[in-house]
Structures are given as structure tokens and as C-alpha cells.
Amino acid sequence: MRLKLVPEVTNFDFFKRWKLWLGLSATMMVIGFTSFLLQGLNYGIDFRGGTTIRTEATQALDIGAYRAAIAPLGLGDITITEVFDPNFAEDQHVAMIRIEAQDDGEALSAEVIGTVQTALDTIAPGIKFVQVESVGPKVSGELIQTAFLAVVLAIGAVLVYIWLRFEWQFALGAVIALVHDVVLTIGVFSELQIRFDLAIIAALLTIVGYSLNDTVVVFDRVRENLRRYKQMPLGELLNLSINETLSRTTMTSFTTLLALIALYVLGGDVIRGFVFAMIWGVVVGTYSSIFVASTILLWLGVNRDWTKKNDTSGNQFANIDA
């Protein structure tokens, strides 16, 4: 017995309310962009600067106890992660503590660092601060620029790839869908003020790849059907292609979400922001591959004259493997 989330043969009309889907997407993008302009993002230490402390203790690490001991000091955003290494001794427990930059300077003063060590010593006697490093505002600003450039270059590479593999109309539809996913993800982080750090940038780049994969699967079927049904209206052909790939798309998204939800519930605070971004990205990526990319393609139209031997525009690289 096989699990079927959708029937093998479906006949949904995905373009019956295409104006509603595009209007909904446009509204959500405007809300997200407005939230970003008005209240910005809740940048983590990676982007705001701060101090990183590497600790060693003989007692087993309890992140909750560490956080409770430091919280009364009023140092702002604090991130605590445990470091694992097979070369560590059995009684060697290492943690990385990141504390945001204070208003009066880039780094924590020696006095404040001593206060933090004293607070932790009450729950982990003999704890050592083996390394203390600071990230200043200049480095943080460079990280923001580099992260923004990475996302833009990723989307630009997608534009070129889809253009070579299909036609420019396919490329434009795919890129608009990717921009839609990235803007909505940044918008929800701004609206909910969830901490935004380098892990979220990694999630954004992963979302770009996931959404692109879904879109290419649909577009591949569209290209096959364009050759098979030369007289079928484009709207009907797009509907047919999406319905034919709907089972695969739904099953892929469902199984991915199962793993992500488990990580969100059981993975702890350290990766919760990253996993939330991935869950949101899978949902909006699946939505955009069906309702945004395909609708843009329907609006732009495609070249359906396959009889001209010399006209290979947009298809000369069609056999490139994904």
C-alpha cells in the first residue's frame, strides 16, 4: 500500500483565480517590505557585533542553566551553543557564548567578562574562559553586505541558468518566484522580530535552491507538453503540467516538512530560527512554483514554433542536466 497525499490523476484549475493569487502575493510582499522599512530586522550578534567567549568546564553543559546565570547581568542578546569534538576528554565540556555589543563599545570590558565568569562559576565551578574574541561594527557591516551580495548573486545565477535551459519567459517567471520567496521570508522575520543572523542567510540560499528545484520540475513538464500538444492553449497546457507533477511536489514538500517540524520541536533554541525559515520557505516555495512562476509564464507566453530548424533561441541548451 502506497501513501498518496493527492490522487494520481487530478484536474485542478490553478489559473481560474490567477488574479487572486497574484494579488495575494503582491499584498504580502508589500506588507513584508513595509515592515522591513519601518522596523527593520532583529539582527543577531553576527550582524550587530559583540563578544564570543569559548568556555571549558568539567561539569556537563546545561545551556538553560548557563543562560539563567547570565540573564540577570542585563547584557542583551546571548547565544549559547555546545561544541562537540571526538578528541575532547570525557570531562571536557566546551561552550561558545556570544554576547551582543554593548552601547558603550565594541567589546565587553575585562570587568564585565570577569562578572560573567563569576556568574557561571556558581553553576560550573572552575569554568575557564579559554578564548575571548570581539566582532566590531565594521566587520558586522561587511557581513551584511556580503550576505546581501550572496543572495543577489544566487538569484542572478538562477536567471542565467533557466534562460539557457529554457527560454527567457521561463527565466523571468522563475526569478520573480524566487524574489517573492526571499521577500516574504525577510518580511516575516521583520514582522515577528525573530533573530536574523548568518544561519538565516544560509536558510535563504537553501530556500532559493528548493524553490528553484520545484519550479524546474514543473517547467520541464511544460516543455515536454509543449512538444506533445502543439495546439493546446497555453493555459490548459500549464494546468495539465502542474497536475501531472502535483503528486511529486506535494509528497516532496510534505516529507521535507515532517523532518523540519521535528527539528523545530526537538532541535532546541540554537537552530530554531534557521528551521523556522526553512519551514516557511518550503511552504512559500511550493506555493510560488505553482501559482507565481507558472502564472507569470502564462502572462508572458512562450515560443511554440518548434518547426524552424534554425530558430533555437532559448532552447540550444535544453539538454543540459539539472
Q: How many CB atoms sit inside 10 A of residue 72's CB?
A: 8
Element (H, E) at 95: strand 93-100
Contacts of 234 (CB under 8 A, 6+ apart): 298, 301, 302, 304
Alpha carbons 170 and 295: distance in angstroms, whole number: 11
Indicate if 50-135 has the same CATH topology as 18-42+140-300: no
CATH 3.30.70.2040 fits 50-135, yes or no: yes
From the options 1.20.1640.10, 1.10.150.530, 3.30.9.10, 3.40.50.620, give the CATH code of 18-42+140-300.
1.20.1640.10
* Pair 59, 93: CB distance under 8 Å: yes
Alpha carbons 216 and 235: distance in angstroms, whole number: 18
Q: Where are the domains of the chain?
A: 18-42+140-300, 50-135
pLDDT tens for the chain, residues 1 to 322: 455 666 666 677 888 888 888 888 899 999 999 999 998 888 877 777 778 888 999 888 888 888 889 888 888 778 888 887 777 888 888 888 888 776 655 567 778 888 898 999 888 888 888 888 776 656 666 777 888 888 888 888 888 888 887 788 888 888 888 889 999 999 999 999 888 888 888 888 888 888 888 888 888 888 888 888 888 888 888 888 888 888 888 888 898 999 999 988 887 667 888 999 999 999 999 999 888 888 888 888 877 654 444 444 444 444 444 4
Classify residue 87 by burial, with Cβ atoms within 10 Å: 0-12, 13-18, 19+. Answer: exposed
